[in-house]
């Protein structure tokens, strides 16, 4: 099974992991028969990496935190002796309920961070200090100095946090511009994955290239509760404990914050991800003031517009946009007149081609600001003006009073919708939205699916759907048939 974790990976054919202060060796590549790169090129490359190591490395810190988690267990004797224990011995089906027992677990977490302000402000990942004991955050600099850290602000959605230390003569990094990145560009990952384990505060340096841009981890187990969009992918090794460390260009400027890897072994395999520094700059402006980061919100469920869908909705070949799969009642979008089936093609004059672009631009728009949104509806372009709302902190607040079951919402399947979506089904209900990470999502259900059978009972319309769903127990696994076949939606365990 493919593992995903908060760490990084490398491609062995390209990467070099070195201790700072050591000489970096470059492989001399053969060019044709007897031809090689000049030794001066290798020397220049060595000097470039050594310079970055010396200038940036002194600002990279090790962070240790003690995280706490409370778990419950043993809430009934039936769990200890079996469900039929009381009925068998006492003739009573009732089980006396005991007060749940709780246990608080404490465990250390290792991470990295960068000093970006000489006043002692350090940027790291939120998951490094999540639920951390405020008195158990320790920051260690490469020069051996050790400080107690205080969390100034954190934002779980972006997975970024700021820790403050009190010290003098603190070296600070410079931020670059992640919008200037190109695939194939050299990048350098710096962090301290095993600094405390090795009792050595000196960070490590790995070299690679930008493998891809605008990557998304949303919809994966790693992306639950996060907004991992527009990520930088690199093959520079990002190991465990590198979370929060910088991804740097050859000029020594930070262009990303290392956050995660995809790996089959849990170690470095060449698929690492970093949060673009331009995203971090936007979040930092609020966190450094101790303010909570607020995100703009439309109140729609969206999906990617495939070429087939674009054709069905009457768009010209190659035209880009984002399809609205549903509109939440009383949301900013509903009040502005958006409808299911609208295709968003632009916001404030900026063309929108992907769901990531739309979510980013709306999320960074100030709450209360009125923006113009270009849409495509019924073969015509229109412009709607919407007043951006504040994104609710909890997913259940987004669905308001709309009915939701096992993480999905359904709607009436009309002839018009079936025709637009190219569906042959005439009976059933149409899945309009599926929450990421929900039981329905894990079962493979997606927007656009048609449910026509639940637990071997035919579903002809919304009335029969809700009649069947209301009789299903929370812990019951449910057999569902859609236009894609059968699937099993797990119950609450």
Positions annotated as catalytic residues are 127, 159, 243
Query: How far apart are the C-alpha atoms of 80 and 95, rounded to whole Å?
Result: 11
Contact 196, 61 (CB under 8 A): no
The CA distance from 464 to 431, in Å, is: 15
SS3 state of residue 296: strand
Instruction: Give CA–CA dist 229/226, Å, rounded.
Output: 9
Q: Residue 359 carries which DSSP code?
A: H
The first and second tokens of residue 50, run together, are: 């050594």
Q: What are the residues facing 209 on neighbouring strands?
A: 186
For residue 125, which of 166, 176, 187, 67 has the smallest C-alpha distance? 67
β-pair partners for 374? 346, 383
Q: Considering all CA atoms of the chain, what is the largest pairwise distance in Å, rounded to the nearest integer?
A: 91
Q: Which of 404, 425, 399, 405 minimizes the C-alpha distance to 413? A: 425
- Cα 283–chain centre separation: 15
Which three-class secondary structure state does DSSP give residue 48? helix
């Amino acid at each position: 099974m493919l593992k995903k974790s908060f760490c990084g990976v490398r491609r062995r054919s390209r990467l070099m992991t070195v201790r700072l202060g050591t000489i970096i060796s470059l492989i001399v590549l053969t060019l044709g028969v007897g031809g090689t790169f000049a030794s001066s090129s290798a020397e220049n490359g060595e000097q470039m990496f050594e310079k970055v190591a010396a200038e940036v490395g002194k600002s990279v810190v090790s962070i240790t935190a003690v995280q706490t988690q409370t778990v419950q267990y043993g809430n009934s004797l039936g769990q200890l002796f079996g469900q039929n224990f009381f009925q068998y011995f006492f003739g009573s089906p009732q089980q006396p309920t005991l007060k749940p027992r709780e246990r608080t677990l404490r465990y250390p977490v290792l991470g990295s961070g960068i000093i970006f302000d000489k006043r002692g402000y350090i940027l790291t990942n939120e998951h490094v200090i999540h639920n951390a004991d405020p008195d158990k955050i320790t920051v260690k600099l490469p020069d051996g100095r050790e400080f107690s850290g205080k969390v100034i602000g954190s934002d779980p959605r972006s997975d970024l946090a700021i820790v403050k230390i009190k010290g003098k003569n603190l070296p600070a990094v410079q931020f670059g511009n992640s919008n200037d990145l190109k695939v194939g560009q050299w990048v350098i990952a710096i962090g301290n994955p095993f600094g405390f384990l090795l009792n050595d505060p000196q960070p490590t340096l790995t070299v690679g290239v930008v493998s891809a841009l605008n990557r998304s981890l949303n919809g994966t187990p790693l992306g639950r509760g996060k907004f991992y969009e527009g990520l930088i992918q690199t093959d520079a090794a990002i190991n465990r404990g590198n979370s929060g460390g910088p991804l740097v260009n050859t000029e020594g400027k930070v262009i990303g914050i290392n956050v995660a890897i995809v790996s089959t072994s849990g170690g470095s395999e060449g698929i690492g991800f970093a949060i673009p520094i331009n995203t971090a700059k936007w979040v930092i402006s609020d966190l450094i003031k101790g303010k909570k980061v607020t995100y703009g919100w439309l109140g729609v469920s969206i999906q990617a517009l495939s070429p087939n869908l674009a054709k069905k909705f009457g768009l010209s070949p190659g035209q880009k946009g984002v399809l609205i799969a549903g509109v939440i009642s009383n949301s900013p979008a509903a009040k502005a007149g958006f409808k299911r089936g609208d295709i968003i093609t632009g916001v404030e004059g900026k063309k929108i081609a992907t769901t990531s672009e739309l979510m980013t631009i709306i999320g960074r728009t100030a709450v209360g600001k009125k923006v113009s949104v270009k849409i495509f509806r019924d073969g015509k372009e229109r412009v709607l003006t919407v007043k951006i709302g504040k994104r609710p902190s909890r997913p259940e607040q987004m669905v308001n009073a709309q009915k939701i079951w096992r993480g999905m919402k359904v709607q009436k399947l009309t002839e018009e919708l079936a025709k637009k979506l190219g569906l042959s089904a005439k009976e059933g209900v149409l899945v309009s939205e599926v929450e990421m990470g929900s039981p329905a999502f894990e079962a493979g259900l997606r927007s656009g699916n048609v449910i026509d059978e639940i637990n071997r009972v035919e579903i002809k319309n919304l009335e029969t759907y809700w009649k069947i769903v209301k009789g299903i127990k929370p812990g019951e696994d449910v057999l569902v048939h859609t236009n894609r076949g059968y699937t099993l939606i797990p119950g609450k365990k």
